[in-house]
Amino acid sequence: MKTNYYIITGISSGIGAALGKEVLKNNGVLFGISRRNNPELIAFNSKRYNFFEFNLKEVNKIESLIHSIKESISPEKCSSIVLINNAGIVEPIGPVWENESGMLKDNLTINLVAPAMLSTCFFKSFNLWQCRKMIVNISSGAGSHPYQGWAGYCTSKSGINMFTKCVALEQNDQPYPTVVCAVSPGVVDTPMQKQVRSTDAIKFPRKSRFVELKKHNLLSKPEDVARKITQIIEGGKIQNGAIIDLREM
Ligand SMILES: NC(=O)c1ccc[n+]([C@@H]2O[C@H](COP(=O)([O-])OP(=O)(O)OC[C@H]3O[C@@H](n4cnc5c(N)ncnc54)[C@H](OP(=O)(O)O)[C@@H]3O)[C@@H](O)[C@H]2O)c1
């Protein structure tokens, strides 16, 4: 019996937690990465759920993290391996010159450098494996549209889109290529959105749009987003390097 393996960052909350549940429901083996664990996933299936307590700011430890995950996967049993770079932060919010020192660096580290390093280590570890391989980078509409007060967030998401397109070109030249795509999930009802709605409007002038969406119950549910992302992964029809907007699906 072959197994589908998933490595998901940001497993403790929001979209990542919903993705984790979807994987376990579909009999996959899950390697979840975040600072906090997810009690719901432990309760759901502690045998197929492996948690790695990890701060993605510590990028120099990413290589050994992926190495220890690789050690737990046997190539003969592997039907597919999927890395979902989902963890992210929106702060700092506000004009860059007012940001607390170091927060811009943290944003770019967690949202861009860490996923790029995880992907790099994924390629190094699995390039020669013949099973189906995929990397899904959770991006945002903010990667293509500038928002006043979100310089770090927009820059990191724009960067992850370009990283996706570049490494997809590299993978196309490999004998067993990994398919890499970026997915913008739309506006999703998670703790990150709660944080956006609680921002000072002077720091983030577009805040009212997000308040209105919540008021009119127009946010997507994390479970629906997770189901759509899983369908993309399992459908196997994604062009390498695609930047996908879930709202168009
Ligand atoms: N919600 C939306 O409307 C929306 C829209 C567009 C894009 N997105 C993107 O979707 C992704 C998930 O967001 P969400 O809305 O589900 O947010 P969320 O509920 O705030 O979850 C963020 C996740 O990232 C993890 N994380 C944050 N900092 C970390 C660190 N230093 N090390 C390890 N893990 C860290 C958190 O885990 P710990 O705190 O336990 O470490 C948490 O599991 C993000 O990339 C976000 O940019 C969200």
User: What is the full per-residue pLDDT of the chain (249 aa) written as tens digits?
Assistant: 899 999 999 999 999 999 999 999 999 999 999 999 999 999 998 899 999 999 999 999 999 999 999 999 999 999 999 999 999 999 999 999 998 889 999 999 999 999 999 999 999 999 999 999 999 999 999 999 999 999 999 999 999 999 999 999 999 999 999 999 999 999 999 999 999 999 999 999 999 999 999 999 999 999 999 999 999 999 988 999 999 999 998
Whether the link from the prior residue into 92 is cis, omega within 30° of 0, is yes
Residue 138 resides in a domain: yes
Q: Ligand 1 centre and the CA of 89: distance in Å?
A: 6
The CATH number for 173's domain is 3.40.50.720
Residue 92 resides in a domain: yes
* Known active-site residue 153: yes
Mutational test site, ligand 1, from 140, 192, 211, max ligand atoms within 8 Å of CB: 192
Residue 243 resides in a domain: yes
Residue 123 resides in a domain: yes
Residue 208 resides in a domain: no
Q: Which residues does ligand 1 sit against, CB inside 6 Å?
A: 9-16, 34-36, 54-57, 86-89, 110, 138, 140, 185, 187-188, 190-193
Beta bridge partners of 53: 34
Question: Which residues, in sequence order, are CB contacts of 110 under 8 Å at separation 6+?
Answer: 56, 57, 87, 88, 89
Residue 194 resides in a domain: no
What distances in angstroms separate CA 193 from CA 171, 211, 221, 225, one per listed residue?
A: 34, 9, 12, 14
Q: How many domains does the chain have?
A: 1
Question: Which residues, in sequence order, are CB contacts of 63 under 8 Å at separation 6+?
Answer: 117, 121
Residue 200 resides in a domain: no
Which domain does 241 fall in, by range? 3-185+222-248
Q: Which of 140, 149, 5 is nearest to 86 (CA)?
A: 140
Residue 202 resides in a domain: no
Strand runs labelled E in 46-96: 49-53, 78-85
